[in-house]
Amino acid sequence: MLKAIIFDLDGTLLDRDTSLKAFVENQHQRMAELQHIDKSVYVNRFVALDQRGYVWKDQVYQQLIHEFDLALQWEDLLEDYMHQFSLHCVGFPNLHELLIYLKESGFKLGLISNGYGTFQMKNMEALRISTYFDTILVSEIEGLRKPDPEIFHRALHRLGAQPGEAAYVGDHPENDVQASRRVGMKGIWKEDDHFAGNFEREYTIRDLMELKKYLEQLHTGST
């Protein structure tokens, strides 16, 4: 019987693609030194260099300065990103509805996110979701990152759950779904068109509230 649900953040609860685009468009609008670049060109190049968040922004901004010959320091652009990104955070549809349902149903909730501690915590606060979770693990604070099995075991220990009593919901096939399944959890894929779907998982959701259907099926033994 499941007693704990653990989530990824970016691409699972946080609509990072929409949030990032909104931030980059706003940064272009606010900074006079960027006005000589067409906005769509700047946004598209930023998104390409970002590689869905797997390249940290110090490298992204250094490359942008080089390519566009910007009269800016990458450190200043990075600081702007760190302080302003959370203002543009957008959650996926039914985010709060799902978390409220899970809490009212008695599940222990956890979150594991790769990333920088203060930055990710600000993003969660912007989404107004921090209070739903019984434990939150961010890789910089924990000193390890997904897909390391230890970060999943650490979350389970804090929730008082065994691997077989927990499910993990994430968008990344390896770092989220496969990594959680290797420690004995149920791996649920938050479907993302960027990734191919030919890997093992217990269930696939497109909308967050589809998780409710899966849990109801488990309860009735129909999965």
Please tell me whether residues 31 and 130 are part of one structural domain.
Answer: no
DSSP state of 33: G
Model pLDDT, residue 219 = 77
CATH code: domain of residue 211: 3.40.50.1000
Please tell me whether residues 11 and 119 are part of one structural domain.
Answer: yes
In DSSP notation, 149-183 reads HHHHHHHHHHHT--GGGEEEEES-IIIIIIHHHHT
Q: Between 16-30 and 74-84, two packed helices, what is the crossing angle to 10 degrees?
A: 130
Please tell me whether residues 187 and 119 are part of one structural domain.
Answer: yes
Beta-strand runs (E) in the chain? 4-7, 108-113, 135-138, 166-170, 186-190, 203-205
Model pLDDT, residue 223 = 57
Cβ atoms of 130 and 136 within 8 Å: the answer is yes
pTM: 0.94
Please tell me whether residues 22 and 129 are part of one structural domain.
Answer: no
Cβ atoms of 188 and 169 within 8 Å: the answer is yes
Q: Which of 67, 88, 109 is the last residue of a domain?
A: 88
Residue 203: which of 189, 191, 183, 219 has the closest Cα? 189
Question: How many domains does the chain fold into?
Answer: 2
Given the DSSP bridges, would you call strands 166-170 and 186-190 parallel, antiparallel or unpaired?
Answer: parallel
**60-72 per-position pLDDT tens digit:** 999 999 999 999 9
Please tell me whether residues 110 and 154 are part of one structural domain.
Answer: yes
Domain extent at residue 181: 4-15+91-220
Cβ atoms of 50 and 20 within 8 Å: the answer is yes
Q: Mean pLDDT of residues grouped by 10 in the chain (223 residues)?
A: 96 97 97 96 97 92 97 96 97 98 98 96 98 98 98 98 98 97 98 88 97 90 64
Residue 123: which of 138, 102, 108, 110 has the closest Cα? 138
Model pLDDT, residue 222 = 62
Phi, psi values for residue 4, rounded to 5°: -140, 140
Model pLDDT, residue 72 = 95
Classify burial at 221, counting beta carbons within 10 Å of its beta carbon; exposed 0-12, middle 13-18, buried 19 or more. Answer: exposed
**30-39 per-position pLDDT tens digit:** 999 999 999 9
